[in-house]
Amino acid sequence: MNRFTGKTVLVTGAGSGLGRAIALAFAAEGASVVVAGRTAASLDETVGLIEAAHGTAAAVTADVTDAGQLQNLVLESVNRFGTLDIAVNNAGILRGTVPVDEVSEEDWDAVLRTNVTGVWLAMKHEIAHMKANGGGTIVNISSNLGAHQRIPNAAAYITSKAAVTALTRAAALDHIHQGIRINAVSPGASAAPMSLQPGESEAGRAERVKGENPLGRVAEAEEVAAAVLYIASPAAGSVVGTDLVIDSGSSA
Protein backbone atom coordinates (compact mmCIF):
# COMPACT_ATOMS: atom_id res chain seq x y z
CA MET A 1 0.00 0.00 0.00
CA ASN A 2 0.95 3.63 -0.46
CA ARG A 3 -1.41 5.30 1.99
CA PHE A 4 1.02 8.10 2.75
CA THR A 5 2.42 9.06 -0.63
CA GLY A 6 2.90 12.82 -0.73
CA LYS A 7 2.73 13.14 3.07
CA THR A 8 5.44 14.36 5.42
CA VAL A 9 5.74 12.49 8.71
CA LEU A 10 7.79 13.51 11.75
CA VAL A 11 8.82 10.78 14.21
CA THR A 12 10.63 11.63 17.44
CA GLY A 13 12.78 9.05 19.16
CA ALA A 14 13.39 7.48 15.75
CA GLY A 15 16.97 6.39 16.28
CA SER A 16 16.06 2.92 17.53
CA GLY A 17 13.30 0.62 18.74
CA LEU A 18 9.68 1.49 18.11
CA GLY A 19 10.49 4.92 16.69
CA ARG A 20 12.73 3.40 14.04
CA ALA A 21 10.11 0.76 13.17
CA ILE A 22 7.43 3.45 12.85
CA ALA A 23 9.64 5.59 10.61
CA LEU A 24 10.46 2.62 8.37
CA ALA A 25 6.79 1.69 8.09
CA PHE A 26 5.70 5.18 7.03
CA ALA A 27 8.51 5.41 4.49
CA ALA A 28 7.56 2.02 3.05
CA GLU A 29 4.11 3.43 2.35
CA GLY A 30 5.35 6.46 0.48
CA ALA A 31 5.83 9.13 3.14
CA SER A 32 8.76 11.49 3.38
CA VAL A 33 9.93 10.93 6.94
CA VAL A 34 11.80 13.26 9.27
CA VAL A 35 13.52 11.17 11.94
CA ALA A 36 14.35 13.07 15.10
CA GLY A 37 16.27 12.31 18.28
CA ARG A 38 19.28 13.28 20.34
CA THR A 39 21.90 11.01 18.75
CA ALA A 40 22.91 11.88 15.20
CA ALA A 41 24.59 8.53 14.48
CA SER A 42 21.48 6.53 15.35
CA LEU A 43 19.28 8.82 13.25
CA ASP A 44 21.65 8.43 10.31
CA GLU A 45 21.32 4.65 10.64
CA THR A 46 17.53 4.96 10.43
CA VAL A 47 17.80 7.20 7.37
CA GLY A 48 20.19 4.70 5.79
CA LEU A 49 17.73 1.86 6.30
CA ILE A 50 14.93 3.89 4.76
CA GLU A 51 17.02 4.95 1.77
CA ALA A 52 18.26 1.38 1.24
CA ALA A 53 14.60 0.42 0.84
CA HIS A 54 14.17 3.26 -1.69
CA GLY A 55 12.34 5.53 0.74
CA THR A 56 12.80 9.22 1.52
CA ALA A 57 13.99 10.49 4.88
CA ALA A 58 16.00 13.18 6.62
CA ALA A 59 17.51 13.31 10.09
CA VAL A 60 17.20 16.26 12.46
CA THR A 61 18.78 16.14 15.90
CA ALA A 62 16.51 17.49 18.63
CA ASP A 63 15.98 17.08 22.36
CA VAL A 64 12.27 17.02 23.22
CA THR A 65 12.93 18.74 26.54
CA ASP A 66 14.11 21.86 24.70
CA ALA A 67 11.30 24.06 23.36
CA GLY A 68 13.58 25.92 20.97
CA GLN A 69 14.87 22.69 19.44
CA LEU A 70 11.33 21.41 18.96
CA GLN A 71 10.26 24.61 17.25
CA ASN A 72 13.27 24.28 14.97
CA LEU A 73 12.43 20.62 14.35
CA VAL A 74 9.02 21.52 12.97
CA LEU A 75 10.52 24.31 10.86
CA GLU A 76 13.20 21.97 9.52
CA SER A 77 10.59 19.34 8.65
CA VAL A 78 8.64 21.88 6.63
CA ASN A 79 11.78 23.26 5.02
CA ARG A 80 12.94 19.78 3.97
CA PHE A 81 9.67 18.47 2.55
CA GLY A 82 7.28 21.42 2.24
CA THR A 83 4.75 20.56 4.92
CA LEU A 84 4.04 18.56 8.06
CA ASP A 85 1.03 16.27 7.79
CA ILE A 86 1.59 13.68 10.53
CA ALA A 87 3.59 13.74 13.75
CA VAL A 88 4.40 10.74 15.95
CA ASN A 89 5.63 11.78 19.38
CA ASN A 90 7.50 8.67 20.45
CA ALA A 91 10.54 9.90 22.41
CA GLY A 92 10.55 8.67 25.99
CA ILE A 93 12.76 7.37 28.79
CA LEU A 94 12.51 4.91 31.68
CA ARG A 95 14.34 5.74 34.92
CA GLY A 96 13.78 5.39 38.64
CA THR A 97 12.70 1.72 38.67
CA VAL A 98 12.57 1.54 42.48
CA PRO A 99 9.79 2.00 45.08
CA VAL A 100 8.24 5.46 45.23
CA ASP A 101 10.12 6.54 48.33
CA GLU A 102 13.45 5.69 46.70
CA VAL A 103 12.92 7.56 43.40
CA SER A 104 15.38 10.45 43.21
CA GLU A 105 14.21 13.93 42.37
CA GLU A 106 16.59 13.86 39.42
CA ASP A 107 15.02 10.71 37.96
CA TRP A 108 11.48 11.91 38.63
CA ASP A 109 12.11 15.25 36.95
CA ALA A 110 13.90 13.66 33.98
CA VAL A 111 11.09 11.18 33.28
CA LEU A 112 8.29 13.74 33.61
CA ARG A 113 10.21 16.33 31.62
CA THR A 114 10.87 13.96 28.72
CA ASN A 115 7.75 11.83 28.67
CA VAL A 116 5.09 14.44 29.46
CA THR A 117 6.47 17.92 28.92
CA GLY A 118 8.30 16.72 25.82
CA VAL A 119 5.06 15.47 24.28
CA TRP A 120 3.27 18.69 25.20
CA LEU A 121 6.02 20.89 23.76
CA ALA A 122 6.16 18.82 20.57
CA MET A 123 2.39 19.05 20.12
CA LYS A 124 2.46 22.77 20.82
CA HIS A 125 4.69 23.42 17.80
CA GLU A 126 3.18 20.72 15.59
CA ILE A 127 -0.32 22.04 16.21
CA ALA A 128 0.75 25.61 15.47
CA HIS A 129 1.88 24.56 12.00
CA MET A 130 -1.13 22.32 11.37
CA LYS A 131 -3.63 25.01 12.43
CA ALA A 132 -2.15 27.37 9.88
CA ASN A 133 -2.04 24.77 7.10
CA GLY A 134 -5.36 22.99 7.00
CA GLY A 135 -4.98 20.38 9.75
CA GLY A 136 -3.06 17.19 10.35
CA THR A 137 -2.74 14.10 12.48
CA ILE A 138 -0.79 13.49 15.70
CA VAL A 139 -0.13 10.13 17.36
CA ASN A 140 1.42 10.13 20.82
CA ILE A 141 3.13 6.96 22.01
CA SER A 142 2.01 6.27 25.56
CA SER A 143 2.14 2.88 27.32
CA ASN A 144 -0.10 0.20 28.75
CA LEU A 145 1.64 1.09 32.02
CA GLY A 146 -0.19 4.14 33.22
CA ALA A 147 -3.87 4.54 32.49
CA HIS A 148 -4.33 0.82 31.82
CA GLN A 149 -2.03 -1.17 34.11
CA ARG A 150 0.31 -0.68 37.05
CA ILE A 151 3.31 -2.69 38.25
CA PRO A 152 5.63 -2.19 41.24
CA ASN A 153 8.75 -0.03 41.07
CA ALA A 154 7.86 2.09 38.06
CA ALA A 155 5.98 5.04 39.55
CA ALA A 156 7.70 7.80 37.59
CA TYR A 157 7.18 6.07 34.25
CA ILE A 158 3.60 5.02 35.08
CA THR A 159 2.72 8.55 36.15
CA SER A 160 4.22 10.04 33.01
CA LYS A 161 2.42 7.69 30.64
CA ALA A 162 -0.94 8.09 32.39
CA ALA A 163 -0.42 11.81 31.88
CA VAL A 164 0.30 11.30 28.16
CA THR A 165 -3.01 9.46 27.78
CA ALA A 166 -4.90 12.27 29.55
CA LEU A 167 -3.01 14.98 27.64
CA THR A 168 -3.79 13.27 24.33
CA ARG A 169 -7.51 13.18 25.04
CA ALA A 170 -7.59 16.78 26.20
CA ALA A 171 -5.66 17.96 23.14
CA ALA A 172 -7.94 15.94 20.86
CA LEU A 173 -10.98 17.81 22.13
CA ASP A 174 -9.22 21.17 21.91
CA HIS A 175 -8.14 20.83 18.29
CA ILE A 176 -10.41 18.49 16.33
CA HIS A 177 -12.49 21.47 15.21
CA GLN A 178 -9.35 22.82 13.55
CA GLY A 179 -8.93 19.63 11.51
CA ILE A 180 -6.22 18.18 13.76
CA ARG A 181 -6.89 14.61 14.80
CA ILE A 182 -4.98 13.49 17.91
CA ASN A 183 -4.77 9.99 19.38
CA ALA A 184 -2.43 7.76 21.36
CA VAL A 185 -1.07 4.24 20.95
CA SER A 186 -0.07 2.39 24.12
CA PRO A 187 2.30 -0.54 23.63
CA GLY A 188 3.08 -3.07 26.29
CA ALA A 189 6.22 -5.18 26.26
CA SER A 190 7.51 -5.09 22.70
CA ALA A 191 10.55 -6.13 20.71
CA ALA A 192 12.41 -2.93 21.57
CA PRO A 193 15.35 -2.17 23.87
CA MET A 194 13.24 -0.41 26.52
CA SER A 195 11.39 -3.64 27.38
CA LEU A 196 14.62 -5.45 28.29
CA GLN A 197 15.40 -5.65 31.99
CA PRO A 198 18.96 -4.76 33.06
CA GLY A 199 21.33 -7.41 31.70
CA GLU A 200 18.52 -9.34 30.01
CA SER A 201 18.89 -10.86 26.55
CA GLU A 202 16.12 -11.00 23.97
CA ALA A 203 15.86 -14.76 24.57
CA GLY A 204 15.57 -14.13 28.30
CA ARG A 205 12.84 -11.56 27.72
CA ALA A 206 10.93 -14.01 25.53
CA GLU A 207 11.06 -16.64 28.27
CA ARG A 208 10.00 -14.16 30.95
CA VAL A 209 7.07 -12.81 28.96
CA LYS A 210 5.64 -16.29 28.32
CA GLY A 211 4.10 -16.15 31.78
CA GLU A 212 3.38 -12.44 31.92
CA ASN A 213 0.69 -11.90 29.31
CA PRO A 214 -2.11 -13.98 27.77
CA LEU A 215 -0.58 -14.04 24.30
CA GLY A 216 2.69 -15.32 25.72
CA ARG A 217 4.99 -13.08 23.71
CA VAL A 218 6.00 -9.49 23.20
CA ALA A 219 4.48 -7.45 20.41
CA GLU A 220 6.74 -7.12 17.40
CA ALA A 221 7.85 -3.56 16.69
CA GLU A 222 6.23 -3.87 13.27
CA GLU A 223 2.88 -4.70 14.90
CA VAL A 224 3.01 -1.52 16.94
CA ALA A 225 4.02 0.44 13.85
CA ALA A 226 1.07 -1.01 11.92
CA ALA A 227 -1.29 0.29 14.60
CA VAL A 228 0.26 3.75 14.43
CA LEU A 229 -0.14 3.81 10.65
CA TYR A 230 -3.79 2.80 10.94
CA ILE A 231 -4.47 5.57 13.49
CA ALA A 232 -2.74 8.08 11.20
CA SER A 233 -4.49 6.90 8.04
CA PRO A 234 -7.71 8.16 6.42
CA ALA A 235 -9.34 4.85 7.41
CA ALA A 236 -9.28 6.10 11.02
CA GLY A 237 -10.87 9.43 10.14
CA SER A 238 -13.44 9.22 12.93
CA VAL A 239 -10.96 8.02 15.57
CA VAL A 240 -10.45 11.00 17.86
CA GLY A 241 -9.01 11.05 21.38
CA THR A 242 -8.58 7.31 21.68
CA ASP A 243 -5.75 5.34 23.28
CA LEU A 244 -5.16 2.09 21.41
CA VAL A 245 -3.56 -0.52 23.67
CA ILE A 246 -1.25 -3.13 22.11
CA ASP A 247 0.02 -5.26 24.97
CA SER A 248 -0.66 -8.93 24.17
CA GLY A 249 -3.59 -8.93 26.58
CA SER A 250 -1.68 -7.77 29.68
CA SER A 251 -4.24 -5.16 30.65
CA ALA A 252 -7.32 -6.98 29.37
Query: In terms of Cα–Cα distance, which of 158, 117, 144, 155 is closest to 243?
Result: 144
Among candidate residues 70, 157, 192, 245, the one labeled active-site is: 157
Burial class from Cβ neighbours inside 10 Å (0-12, 13-18, 19+) for residue 165 reads: buried
Total length of the chain: 252
Q: How far apart are CA 129 and CA 237, in angstroms?
A: 20
Rg, Å, the chain Cα set:
17
Contact between 130 and 174 (Cβ < 8 Å): no
Contact between 60 and 38 (Cβ < 8 Å): no
Q: How far is CA 216 from each of CA 117, 148, 206, 210, rounded to the nearest angstrom?
A: 34, 19, 8, 4
Q: How far is CA 79 from each of CA 73, 97, 154, 233, rounded to the nearest angstrom?
A: 10, 40, 39, 23
Q: How far apart are CA 77 and CA 36, in angstroms?
A: 10
Q: Is 157 a catalytic residue?
A: yes
Q: From the CB of residue 152, how many other CB atoms can be counted at a distance below 10 Å?
A: 10
Q: How far apart are CA 196 and CA 189, in angstroms?
A: 9
Catalytic residue numbers, as ranges? 157
